[in-house]
Every structure is written in C-alpha cells, then in structure tokens.
Amino acid sequence: MRLFIAIELPKPFCAEVLRLQREVKRLSAGGRFVPEESFHITLHFIGESEDLQGAVHAMQEAVRGIRPFTLHLGKCDSFQKDDSCTPYVDVLGELGELQALYESLQSALYDQGFSRENRRFTPHITLGRSVALPEGAAALEGLRPNASMMVQQIVLFESARQNGRVLYIAVHRERFA
C-alpha cells in the first residue's frame, strides 16, 4: 500500500481552496489539477508499506499532548521547476502547534522503523502539478483566500488507483486528546 499521513480539510475550507484553484485554472495555460476530494495538508509521506499497525501506533504516540488548533489559508504561491510550476496555498495560523505535531509524528514514525522526511516542512495545500502559468508565481499574487479550520485529528491515507484515477482512502483517524 502507498501510505501518507495528513490533515483532512473540512468541506467549507475545501470550498475556498476550490475557489482559488478555479482562479489558478483561469490564469493558466493548462496542467494537472488536484481533485477537490484530494485536498489535504501532508504531514508525512510513508510510501509503499504494509505496516499499518506501525503507522497507527506512531499516530497514537504523536498526538499525545497535542491540543486542537486553528489553521487559516495564506497566500497563493508556487514551487517552480523548469517551465511549469506546482501552485499551492500557504497554511497559516497556530503554526507552533502544527510544527509540534509534525515533529512528534516524525519521531514516533522513526521509532516504528519508518524513515524521516528529508526536506523542510512547508505546510501547504497543493492545487495542481505541471501547471503552465504564463506570468509564473506573479500571476497568483492577487488571489486572496479566506477560510479557517479547527484541526482535531490526523488521518492515515492509502493512495490507490481505481478506474484510472488516484483516490485517497482514509484508513485510520487519530483524534487529539
């Protein structure tokens, strides 16, 4: 199974992300856009693994002492690569609590035999991949998101292919104490 742990987005939050994505589509000359039901904030990409029990145990350990916290949508930006980009929405809010959750999860996963992330944690919501924006990231500067959410759990997802589409299937949810 291809697994990752993320923060699931509530419907009103997703609706605002979808509004932003539509604006990015309008400004773009094409690309692959993330389906609305796949919007999330990745905390850790596990990759191919059958160790569901280890991942669940790590999630249980990671949320100890974590209290619910609030996140907001920030500015739109993009990761640039050659002639295309990966547009995303920045995540703001109680980032200290989010960072504590991230670090706790990294340690708990490592204790269960999973590898640590090798890159700096940049909380964001991906809108698309290989997107052609004629003006690059400058085209995204005028987009102003407005949504907040209360984070109360993390979710273990399986990334599976069905009928030619990639689906994210929730395998386990771990609520904060």
pLDDT in tens, 63-93: 999 999 999 999 888 888 777 789 999 999 9
Least confident of 6-20, 61-75, 97-111, 136-150: 136-150
Percentage with pLDDT > 70 across the chain: 97
Could you identify the residue written with the tokens 């069905």?
Answer: 162
Indicate the domain borders of the chain.
2-175
Domain 2-175 part of CATH 3.40.630.30:
no
pLDDT at 134: 73
Which residues are CB-contacts of 129 (< 8 A; sequence separation ≥ 6)?
31, 32, 34, 84, 86
**Which H or E run contains 61?**
helix 52-62
pLDDT at 137: 62
**Alpha carbon distances (Å) from 17 to 41, 124, 143, 145:** 12, 11, 11, 8
